[in-house]
Amino acid sequence: MPTPTKTTQASSKKRAAILGTGAGIIAIGGGLATVWPTGSKSLPDTFPALDTCRVIEVVDGDTLHASCDGLKTITIRLFGADAPEMNQPSGPMARAALGTLLVGQNLTIQPIEKDKYGRLVAQLSTSAYSSVERRQIETGLAWWSPQYAPDSRDLRLAEDTARAAKRGLWAMPAPIPPWQWRKAH
């Protein structure tokens, strides 16, 4: 396994391609640690390079678990998307849609940061979709999260398109954003 190197702010802008094969397998190239941003939300500088990861569970419409060589299970959260909670209308549908997007696909993961819950926040793409998070939003199965992705014009436009077309949760008369749902429940 290659030895990880310490990240600099300049290298944090680089994207890590994590290519996979088969049903939910993610193969990770060496030197993964070189892509983590610095700062309080960064992963440790000694984060190991990985050989393979396997998606083992889709938790909800914006979160999944992967099992990776050399690590225990990693939780990955989609960057800039906030899907309905599982006990919220459209929550189970959002989870099922994310599972369908990931089954049998080659994946690319672009790590962004580690969140306050220890999850890897990342952008995901497959051979069919250049942005899994955008796909969840444009089909009306997640909100764009301006709090965590304020500069993402692409995700904002995806939500605007879903709203205008009344797709997914936007077909409901008054969908409640998950951040409001969590406060009330």
Residues labelled catalytic = 77, 85, 119
Burial-class residue 82 by CB neighbours within 10 Å (0-12, 13-18, 19+): buried
Please answer whether residues 10 and 33 qualify as being in contact, where contact means their C-beta atoms are separated by less than 8 angstroms: no
Please answer whether residues 27 and 18 qualify as being in contact, where contact means their C-beta atoms are separated by less than 8 angstroms: yes
CA distance 181 to 150: 21
Please answer whether residues 140 and 167 qualify as being in contact, where contact means their C-beta atoms are separated by less than 8 angstroms: yes
Q: What six digits make up the tokens of 131?
A: 């942005």
CA distance 90 to 153: 24
- Cβ atoms within 10 Å of 134's Cβ, excluding its own: 24
CA distance 31 to 2: 6
CA distances from 30 to 51, 139, 157, 179 (A): 7, 34, 35, 36
